[in-house]
Chain A
């Protein structure tokens, strides 16, 4: 055997010092002859010991049993799907009754034992402040023709191969709203994760003539979350200003900053112009969950203020629901909500009618949550709904008030009178993912998409659920893309067979991976990322 050089030896000394090197005879021989490498071997042994000493400062493990109980409950939750021989199979467990531990939200840690008494804050004072007349404070931008519906004549029909996107570098799309096969809007942000001193700015894209292009109108130090068009001439978008916050440190030990949401604001598209509309009195948000317009005169906005610990094991989450009517956004009390309830999505298609889904996180209110607002009153379902034990709901989709899908674990359908899981098989959650986004194209067809899996996707194949022939079926779709797509979301249909969705791609940053949204074209079952989004 050829003796090792010092360089070869030193390369393996860290493993040798940790005692994990399987073939260490050649190292030992070299150390016998080389005092310099022996000193370095001592260093690596000390490093190993120093880490071991550091680990002793970690508090004693007292949660092993409690966490195992929750793991056990989660793996037995109905609708869990397990990978088997390269394909996903549906399982429906009946063991839950034997577990002895109620199951709370799917992703939350240890739960509190008692549900706090309802103490959702009174909205009276907030309402006084939030009776928001439309404050068309500033003209956000003039669309120079491409924003004017009256200018769109003889729209060009596009073949899939003609689709393209001319996006600025570091653009990330967050939401899409198609008006027709030839007209649509998308919003998001432009932000370079490697240049964290430079704030994000809003991204506003228009789809016309087979191409997505930025309008040129931006708001600095802000990002847009959602867009909801009512027609070619009327629509809304919602965003938030951002503020810089230290989140980690870089390779040299310097702080890394990120820009987090702060004050929300709206953009109103009318008369061919986007105008900024402030939301005075609304507290800081950490995100926007939903913006849904029913008509030019009515819409809903659900804002997320995040959670705060009320004790080491319990968090209270707060949200603001705004209802647009009579030209003003006014708050609607979420009277059904417990402090520990997490809300995720809202959908609305009819006047004075909306649906919200989420789940409880306390042991006493654990399980899926569905709330229906109708004419000023809330009706709530949670836990066991329609005879089915529910767990988590992250999204809701509907085509009418007689066709509502609570999408999650398990999938439930509302026919206008009752919730039922009949005809909706248990849904898969491959790799620990959850169903996070769904779009019903019609009462007979819909798509549901999972969150990214536990590991980076190494192919352009994605598991999805497709509602067709009266049932949800698992499919693996291929996204034609130059980059790996981690997940899909936010499918907005432009016609019965064509639409646009957002694909999440993972981009490396100095602190790990971040997600960026790209535009994905959907054409009758085929999915593709059009060129022009490489930045």
Chain B
């Protein structure tokens, strides 16, 4: 009788205790990854692509058992609207989050550079899937908590200038955003030209975020005798340039060789028919729109499940998705290697990972103590928008 009673009472209690313990371990066991990007920026699609890339990777990782013996990864998204002050506040807040191992940044380099001191003070692992300012990784901090799987200006400029040179544009005009990012590109251009003459910059013009016209700068460049415009900016001002150029007679439209951030938005939608009237090429690192590899299809299946995505052509900033996906997978490897959510250990692990066959390339290894750039100049190529609005590599 007593045994019966013990069994009748003890079994449900044991079940409840196990369930409660399991629930508690599940809540406490989450490993967090932050995304501090420009979600509130009305034209930016890069943050969406980054978020989707991270979420696809997290879905795969969690479905395959998570990290650290079954702990789920979870993404915490913060909207910095591309404003450095907001980004800094979010970095500070995320740095105080228990079991947060790393934070992805967005497209805007300025929102990252401003927070580098804070990031290193709080030992926050920064994963950069887009921002191209060289100074983000080449920041001088030891240990360096910034890791990038993306394009950097030091590779974008040679790609643009080399392409211009190949097309016979001996004289170019620089049209740069008036930010630390634009100035960094300017310095890189000057270094490039010093090392590789054969092309000259006949005029350098600057514009600001929010400028409604860049025609004054464009006319100055054209008047200086440039054969082409090298543009460094993001999609709103890039769209202004394209629309204004398209309004000019065809003979007055110079070819535009652009940095890649114009692809950080739905550029075809922002420019409309004007896009077809301007010879616009830009830097890219991965042609997701036309990649038919097995890995891409696996990702698309997950994306379809998560976002009802039928094709990657729906992704307006495909590089962001690809970079973020690979970087998340690399982070998961580092967490496993660190065996902990301790960010210092995760940072160290990132520098000592083994080979990883990613979506974009084979990383062997992704990072080293001396190299926090996962990609290389070989990954950089020029692309243009096709008539279907998709990004296609220029072969």
A-B interaction:
no
